[in-house]
Amino acid sequence: MPVATGQRDLEGAIAVTRFGLGARAGEIGEAVRDPRGWLKAQVRREGAEPFSTNGEGSTQRLIEFRDYRRQRAMAEQAGSPPADGSGRKDDPVMKARQFVRDNTTGDILGRVQVAAQTPAGFRERWALFWANHFTVSAVKLQVAGLVGPFENEAIRPRIFGRFIDLLGAAETHPAMLLYLDQAQSVGPNSRAAQFQRRRGTREGGGPARGLNENLAREILELHTVGVDGGYTQADVTEFARALTGLSIAGPRDAGVEGVVFRAQTHEPGARTVMGVLYGDGGKEQASAILADLAARPQTARFVCTKIARHFVADDPPPALVARLERAWLSTDGDLARVAEALIDAPEAWEPFPAKLKTPYEFLVSSYRALGGEPRGIGQVAGVLGGLGQRPFGAPSPKGWPDEAAPWAASDALVKRMQFAQQIAAVAGPLVQDPSALATLTLGARLGQASRIAIARAESRAEAVALLLMTPEFQRR
pLDDT, one tens digit per residue, over 420-454 is: 999 999 999 999 999 999 999 999 999 999 999 99
- Cis amide leading into 316 (omega within 30): no
**One domain for residues 213 and 341:** yes
Residue 51 has pLDDT above 70, yes or no: yes
Query: For residue 146, is it within any domain?
Result: no
- Res 205: pLDDT: 47
Of 20-29, 56-65, 103-112, 198-207, give the lowest mean pLDDT range: 198-207
Q: Give the CA count within 13 Å in the CB-facing half-sphere of 119.
A: 7
- Res 433: pLDDT: 98
Of 75-84, 253-262, 295-304, give the lowest mean pLDDT range: 75-84
Tens-digit pLDDT profile for residues 113-170: 999 999 999 999 999 999 999 999 999 888 999 999 999 999 999 999 999 999 999 9
Query: For residue 105, is it within any domain?
Result: no
**Whether 166 contacts 223, CB under 8 Å:** no
Taking residues 351-365, report their average pLDDT. 97
- Res 76: pLDDT: 75
Query: For residue 73, is it within any domain?
Result: no
Query: For residue 48, is it within any domain?
Result: no
Share of the chain above pLDDT 90, in %: 82
Which residues make Cβ contacts (< 8 Å) with residue 465, sequence separation at least 6? Answer: 417, 420, 421, 424, 428
Give 237-305 as a DSSP string. Answer: HHHHHHHTTEEE--TTSTT--SEEE-GGGSPPS-EEETTEEE---THHHHHHHHHHHHHSHHHHHHHHH
- Please tell me the pTM assigned to this model: 0.94
In this prediction, residue 91 has a pLDDT band, given cuts at 50, 70 and 90, of low
Residue 261 has pLDDT above 60, yes or no: yes
Query: For residue 202, is it within any domain?
Result: yes
Which has more pLDDT, 97 or 211? 211
**Whether 238 contacts 271, CB under 8 Å:** yes
- Res 78: pLDDT: 80
**One domain for residues 333 and 448:** no
Cα 236 to chain centroid distance, Å, stands at: 24
**One domain for residues 299 and 400:** no
Report the number of distinct structural domains present in the chain.
3
CA gap 98, 121 in Å, rounded? 33
- Res 310: pLDDT: 99
CA gap 195, 123 in Å, rounded? 50
- Res 141: pLDDT: 86
In this prediction, residue 208 has a pLDDT band, given cuts at 50, 70 and 90, of low
For residue 403, count CB atoms less than 10 angstroms from its CB and return exposed for 0-12, middle for 13-18, buried for 19 or more: middle
Tens-digit pLDDT profile for residues 61-75: 998 888 877 777 787
Residue 87 has pLDDT above 60, yes or no: no
**One domain for residues 413 and 384:** yes
**One domain for residues 185 and 280:** yes
**One domain for residues 321 and 395:** no
**One domain for residues 284 and 187:** yes
Taking residues 295-312, report their average pLDDT. 99
**One domain for residues 376 and 431:** yes
Query: For residue 196, is it within any domain?
Result: yes
Mean pLDDT of the chain, nearest integer: 93
- Res 212: pLDDT: 98
**Whether 105 contacts 377, CB under 8 Å:** yes
**One domain for residues 453 and 470:** yes
**Whether 211 contacts 240, CB under 8 Å:** yes
Query: For residue 166, is it within any domain?
Result: no
Last residue of some domain: 291, 326, 352?
352
DSSP state, residue 409: S
Cα 217 to chain centroid distance, Å, stands at: 19
**One domain for residues 301 and 383:** no
**Whether 15 contacts 443, CB under 8 Å:** no
Which has more pLDDT, 202 or 444? 444
Last residue of some domain: 323, 352, 381?
352
- Res 254: pLDDT: 73
Q: Which residue range forms the structural domain that includes residue 425?
A: 359-474
**One domain for residues 405 and 344:** no
Query: For residue 71, is it within any domain?
Result: no
In this prediction, residue 246 has a pLDDT band, given cuts at 50, 70 and 90, of very high
**One domain for residues 324 and 198:** yes
Tens-digit pLDDT profile for residues 310-354: 999 999 999 999 999 999 999 999 999 999 999 999 999 999 999
Which residues make Cβ contacts (< 8 Å) with residue 111, sequence separation at least 6? Answer: 51, 148, 151, 391
